[in-house]
Structure 1
Amino acid sequence: MSKVVSPEFAASLVKDGMTIGVGGFVGFGAPEELLIALQERYKETKSPKGLTIFHCAGLGDGAERGINHLAEEGLAKKIICGHIGLEPKISKLLVENKMIGFCLPQGVTSQILRATAGKKPGVLTHVGLNTFADPRVEGCKVNQAAINSGEEVVSLVKIEGKDYLLYKSVPLDICFIKGTLGDEDGNISLQKEALISDQLEMAAATHNSGGIVIAQVENVVKKGTIKAHDVKIHGFLVDYIVKGKPENSYQGFADNYYRPELSGEITIPLSAMEPMELGNRKICGRRGALELKKGSLVNLGIGVPEAVAAVAGEEGISGDITLSIESGVLGGVPTGGLAIGGTVNPEAIIKQPDIFDIYDGGGLDVSFLGAAEIDEKGNVNVSKFGGRVVGPGGFINISQNAKKVCFTGTFTAGKLETKIEDSKLTIVKEGNGIKFKKSVEQITFSADYANESGQEIYYITERAVFKLTDKGVKLIEIAPGVDLQKDILANMEFKPLIAEDLKLMDERIFKNEKMRLSF
């Protein structure tokens, strides 16, 4: 019997109080047809009510799509996830305490699916120790509603004298995932997807919880027509298939057409890239590139850290390193914006939990991440601003386990204006937001943990470079042309340690020509 059903029927299977898992990474793999159907059903019937939503990566477009469809008041009572920065409608409910919220490290959420599938009590890991995820700090609680609930999603466990965190498994009653093709028996392929992500793990977790697995696909084909190597989720795991409308089945949220160069179907020639304009981003990217070593596995965060990849390409050394993203793509040229998580011309696409296993075990040589706030101890915040939590995404897994971490961005936030002349940097107009704070609003990166584990930590800006020491943040380099007191110390809420042999940043960084980097 065919497993193909309408989106309306699929939505009717979601009952009051269920825990629903939703697959996807930003816009890639988003089961948009199913989410729209569930939203419409609630609008019409006020059912289902009181759902618990579980998803791993952030899933939204910063406006209407993705998990934002489930932000109808009363539809959901709780959310457990890795990131909500692109889910403003959900964020609003959390700020208003109309929903209970827990944000976990993204790698942990993906591994929770495996733990749930295996009927294990949870994920036992060091990831999150000393950060806001630690129950001795905030215990992953997003808002007052979570605190008032009395619920705990993580506990402290001591094994052979060492501290670990146990994040509870989350049994799923139903899940929505997305694939490319589905046959009449429910076999699902992913060949046009930019990511493999967590579809299999979510299906397994739901199936083994006694739940219902529903897959949205682009097309339905006859049974037996999907090659065995292309079947990524076998039909025994899938209860129902829904064929999505073309407009709800895009490869991702960034484009309304299929890009085969993201799925690895084709490799496109990359036209000679225009060199990045010499400015703050490029300065940070160039200084960051000096921390690269041949053969390194590298992870790049969003924003200024992406400039490291641009500089590596311009300098002709990108072929000597492997860029990676926590979505599971390796190699190629990472995409940004709503296409974050994808890569043009990937060398490999592996599952999200697999890449996090590699990261968590110390396989990542260096990572370049952003930083919204840095305090005098060296702690970093990227997950909470003005009382609003956006979540850590993969930041905690990455920053806590990479051998070397470079927090990369401008020295101050806001409308910073600089000028570069004669290989010197001048601050024309200072940014209106201080990043180097006496204390951070939330600890997403723990300096104490980094010091204990022996990580190499740098804070790279356009005008200064700092290094983490066991005594705090130490200034080790300043840009040629800047004034130590006026341009640096006066724009910090604390006085850093200052290296006795304080150096000037490499003058090649500030020249409008190639640096001629090589390994």
Structure 2
Amino acid sequence: MDKTIPDLATAVSGIEDGMTVMIGGFGGSGAPIELIHALIDRHVRTGHPTGLTVVNNNAGNGHVGLAALIEQGMVGKLICSFPRSADPKVFTDLYLAGGIELELVPQGTLAERIRAGGAGIPAFYTPTSFGTDLAKGKPVEEFEGRSYVQERWLKADYALIKADTGDTMGNLTFRMAARNFAPLMATAAAHTIVQVTRLVEAGGIDPEVVVTPGIFVQGVVEVPDPAQEEVLNRADAHYPEVA
């Protein structure tokens, strides 16, 4: 039952070309920077993985984290709510050049599609997006005099998320807003890999405060001093570092 992984490279070693990867975070809050950078390191060494479909709330900022993953040409499609955030230049330039596909999803719908994937619900109806371009081609039904758009579940091969404290069995707690999409993504992925700031033994977390039970987690790696996206961007950081 020990789900600890010795290092970041091992943690991301199972992600292959063409997979769908959910990445936690709301902007920089809860973004698993070290896991993303480890995946980039693997790509630099081997040329893989490529052609990933990434599910995230936004399109990354600056030249670190998700933006760096996109900049390395590893992402073929992005499913997100906010492709234009604080500094989305990497994604914007690539999208305008036709180098990446975008599926735009309203934020509440994105969260519910992920939740549905984890709950085994293939589709649901929402009034959000009715009458807009985002509803084109989707089934529409009327309930109690109001039109609703059918949306499909979202599932992933892998979820990469960040938690505050985890135990060796994969039980997790989160720090404030860093919780965001992570618990939902953990339920909707076949393999959930988590970087935790503090790793404790089984029983080291009060069961009453566990947010994500270990049954949804396949691997935990400790990162005691995780980087923060906004801090890196203020320092004009690039990953990999520009020579």
Structure 2 length-normalised TM: 0.86
The match for 2:92 is 91
On the 8 A contact 1:212/1:239 being kept in 2, the answer is yes
Give the letter for the 2:44 counterpart.
Answer: K
Offset at residue 100 of structure 1 (A): 1.1
* 1:275-324 deviation line (CA, Å, top 9, x unaligned): xxxxxxxxxxxxxxxxxxxxxxxxxxxxxxxxxxxxxxxxxxxxxxxxxx
Give the one of 149, 162, 166 matched to 1:182.
166
In structure 2, distance between residues paired with 1:231 and 1:77? 35
Give the one of 183, 189, 204 matched to 1:225.
204
Offset at residue 73 of structure 1 (A): 4.8
Three-state SS of the structure 1 residue aligned to 2:16 is: coil
In structure 1, distance between residues paired with 2:194 and 2:149? 33
The match for 1:58 is 58
The match for 1:213 is 192
Three-state SS of the structure 2 residue aligned to 1:97 is: coil
In structure 1, distance between residues paired with 2:156 and 2:12? 16
- Identity, in percent, stands at 29
The match for 1:116 is 117
Give the one of 175, 179, 198 matched to 1:196.
179
Structure 1 residues 54 and 228 mapped into 2: Cα distance closer, same or farther (>3 Å)? same
The match for 2:218 is 239
On the 8 A contact 1:108/1:123 being kept in 2, the answer is no
The match for 1:411 is none
In structure 1, distance between residues paired with 2:42 and 2:21? 15
In structure 1, distance between residues paired with 2:39 and 2:208? 32
Three-state SS of the structure 2 residue aligned to 1:101 is: strand
The match for 1:13 is 14
Give the letter for the 1:230 counterpart.
Answer: V
Give the letter for the 1:117 counterpart.
Answer: G
Three-state SS of the structure 1 residue aligned to 2:135 is: coil
Offset at residue 245 of structure 1 (A): 4.9
Three-state SS of the structure 2 residue aligned to 1:173 is: strand
Give structure 2 stretches of 5+ with no counterpart.
235-243
On the 8 A contact 1:25/1:197 being kept in 2, the answer is yes
RMSD after superposition: 2.0
1:77-476 paired onto structure 2 within 5 Å = 77-86=76-85, 87-135=88-136, 155-160=138-143, 162-190=146-174, 192-206=175-189, 211-248=190-227, 250=228, 253-254=229-230
In structure 2, distance between residues paired with 1:10 and 1:167? 32
Three-state SS of the structure 2 residue aligned to 1:218 is: strand
Three-state SS of the structure 2 residue aligned to 1:233 is: coil
On the 8 A contact 1:187/1:231 being kept in 2, the answer is yes
The match for 1:39 is 40
In structure 2, distance between residues paired with 1:98 and 1:63? 18
Name which structure has the greater RCO, CA cutoff 8 Å, separation 6+.
2
On the 8 A contact 1:80/1:103 being kept in 2, the answer is yes
Offset at residue 203 of structure 1 (A): 0.6
Structure 1 residues 183 and 59 mapped into 2: Cα distance closer, same or farther (>3 Å)? farther
Three-state SS of the structure 2 residue aligned to 1:9 is: helix
The match for 2:240 is none
The match for 1:263 is none
Give the letter for the 2:58 counterpart.
Answer: G
Confirm or deny that 1:68 pairs with 2:67: yes
Offset at residue 156 of structure 1 (A): 3.2
Offset at residue 180 of structure 1 (A): 0.4
- Bigger Rg, structure 1 or 2: 1
Structure 1 residues 167 and 88 mapped into 2: Cα distance closer, same or farther (>3 Å)? farther
Offset at residue 59 of structure 1 (A): 5.8
On the 8 A contact 1:24/1:59 being kept in 2, the answer is no
Choose 5-14 or 154-163, whichever is displaced more.
Answer: 154-163
Offset at residue 162 of structure 1 (A): 4.2
Structure 1 residues 9 and 195 mapped into 2: Cα distance closer, same or farther (>3 Å)? closer
In structure 2, distance between residues paired with 1:132 and 1:47? 34
Three-state SS of the structure 2 residue aligned to 1:194 is: helix
In structure 1, distance between residues paired with 2:44 and 2:177? 32
Confirm or deny that 1:3 pairs with 2:11: no
In structure 1, distance between residues paired with 2:211 and 2:226? 24
On the 8 A contact 1:51/1:77 being kept in 2, the answer is yes
Give structure 1 stretches of 5+ with no counterpart.
136-153, 257-337, 339-519
Offset at residue 110 of structure 1 (A): 0.5
In structure 2, distance between residues paired with 1:93 and 1:158? 36
In structure 1, distance between residues paired with 2:184 and 2:46? 31
